[in-house]
Amino acid sequence: MVSMSPDDAARLRSLLQSRLEARVAQGPQSVAREDVDTSATAHDDDLGPHMAMDQAIASGRNAAWTAETIALAAALRRLEEEPDSFGDCEDCGEPIPLRRLELMPHAALCVRCQATRETGPARRRKVTDYV
């Protein structure tokens, strides 16, 4: 495939490094509610569901934080180890547009392949599909 210019690769390397450093510095979200005195409100029946909801939200954020941190580190490793193939879609092998990589430097798939993974292959719809 067409390899990217050294300037583009250096810009993406810098972008990946700064985003990874920012994610690591940010760290995962706290799961416990720090703004509630649980000893004073332990008898409050509404507190339990709110705390469970807060924990679920924080857990989801932490999962997303972990996934993006891993993806950024993996992209940086790919760029260092295989600079000639960095920016090529892992599924179809076509070059990922530079604009996509600038917005999401850890992207390993082109838009078409990403959409296929998320929604499945496109197929023609029939009128009976909606009945």
Please report, for the domain that includes residue 25, its CATH number.
1.20.120
Q: Is the pLDDT of residue 104 over 90?
A: yes
Judging by beta carbons within 10 Å of its beta carbon (0-12, 13-18, 19+), is residue 51 exposed, middle or buried? middle
Structure tokens at 72: 């950024």
Q: Give the pLDDT score at 44.
A: 61
- Other CB atoms closer than 10 Å to residue 76's CB: what's the count? 20
Rounded mean pLDDT, 13-35: 81
Give me Rg for the CA atoms of the chain.
21
User: In one letter, which amino acid is 102?
Assistant: E
Asked whether the CA dihedral 102, 104, 109, 112 is positive or negative, the reply is: negative
Residue linked to tokens 């909801």? 53
pLDDT tens digit sequence for 52-80: 787 888 788 888 889 999 999 999 999 99
23-32, 42-51, 55-64: lowest mean pLDDT where?
Answer: 42-51
**The pTM is what?**
0.69
Pick the residue with more confidence: 121 or 115?
115
Helices in 27-127 by DSSP H: which ranges? 47-81, 98-103, 111-119
pLDDT band for position 96 (cuts 50, 70, 90): very high
- Coil, helix or strand at residue 95: strand
Q: Give the pLDDT score at 71.
A: 94
Rounded mean pLDDT, 27-42: 59
Number of domains in the chain: 1
Q: Give the pLDDT score at 47.
A: 72
Pick the residue with more confidence: 131 or 81?
81
Q: Give the residue numbers spanning the domain of 11.
A: 6-130
- Asked whether residue 104 is assigned to any structural domain, the reply reads yes
Q: Give the pLDDT score at 72.
A: 95
- Asked whether residue 1 is assigned to any structural domain, the reply reads no
- Asked whether residue 72 is assigned to any structural domain, the reply reads yes
Q: Give the pLDDT score at 7.
A: 92
- Asked whether residue 76 is assigned to any structural domain, the reply reads yes
